[in-house]
């Protein structure tokens, strides 16, 4: 079934099944549920064309293929795939992962944040993810990043600051908190993204 891309005013896209307009609110229906945004946060909608998969010709029965053990997928590929699932630019999510942990699955911060995108155990639990599982860690971190971008109407600085220091700090200061660590973090992620060709 065809879906659509919701283009935020910041340029980010969120993949959705459909949307509804209700006064000044747009309801966006995704696989994760329903998100409400003010109409000003959305610049346009791009319809996706549905192409049915081609029907494969019948093949003669073959001997069962040998079982090949699964090859571990590298963190960069997992980040890329998670970004696509959440409708975010892969280079942007990769920039966050690089600054958070340098893409190391076994990275642990002094405060106890775990893995590639440095999830605190409590945050991972709220996202129903095992932070020690690299795929779940990256997927949950990417979903959190997308949800923060939606909450702050596509404001990248606020979303990154909230990812680093928590939504409470961003809400309290109504923007980038006056924490040197958070300010340096936001600048590093944006610079890394711009160097990768992002805008």
Q: Catalytic residue numbers?
A: 100
3-class SS string, the chain: CCCEEEEECCCCEEEECEEEEECCEEEEEECCEEEEEEHHHEEEEEECCCCCCCCCCCCCCCCCCCCCCCCCCCHHHHHHHHHHHHCCCHHHHHHHHHHHHCCCCCCECCCCCECCCCECHHHHHHCCCCCCCHHHHHHHHHHHHHHHHHHCCCCHHHHHHHHHHCHHHHHHHCCCCCCHHHHHHHHHHHHHHHHCCCC
């Amino acid at each position: 079934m065809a879906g659509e891309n919701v283009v935020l005013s910041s340029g980010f896209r969120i993949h959705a099944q459909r949307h509804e307009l209700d006064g000044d609110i747009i309801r966006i229906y995704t696989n994760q549920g329903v998100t409400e945004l003010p109409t000003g946060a959305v610049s346009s909608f791009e319809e996706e064309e549905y192409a049915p998969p081609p029907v494969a010709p019948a093949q003669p029965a073959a001997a069962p293929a040998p079982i090949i053990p699964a090859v571990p997928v590298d963190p960069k590929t997992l980040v890329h795939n998670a970004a696509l699932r959440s409708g975010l630019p892969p280079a942007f999510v990769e920039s966050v992962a690089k600054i958070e942990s340098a893409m190391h699955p076994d990275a642990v911060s002094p405060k106890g944040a775990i893995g590639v995108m440095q999830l605190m155990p409590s945050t991972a639990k709220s996202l129903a993810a095992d932070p020690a599982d690299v795929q779940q860690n990256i997927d949950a971190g990417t979903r959190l990043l997308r949800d923060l971008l939606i909450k702050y109407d596509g404001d990248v600085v606020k979303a990154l600051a909230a990812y680093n220091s928590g939504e409470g700090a961003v809400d309290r200061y109504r923007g980038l908190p006056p924490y040197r660590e958070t300010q340096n973090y936001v600048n590093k992620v944006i610079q890394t993204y711009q160097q990768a060709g992002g805008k």
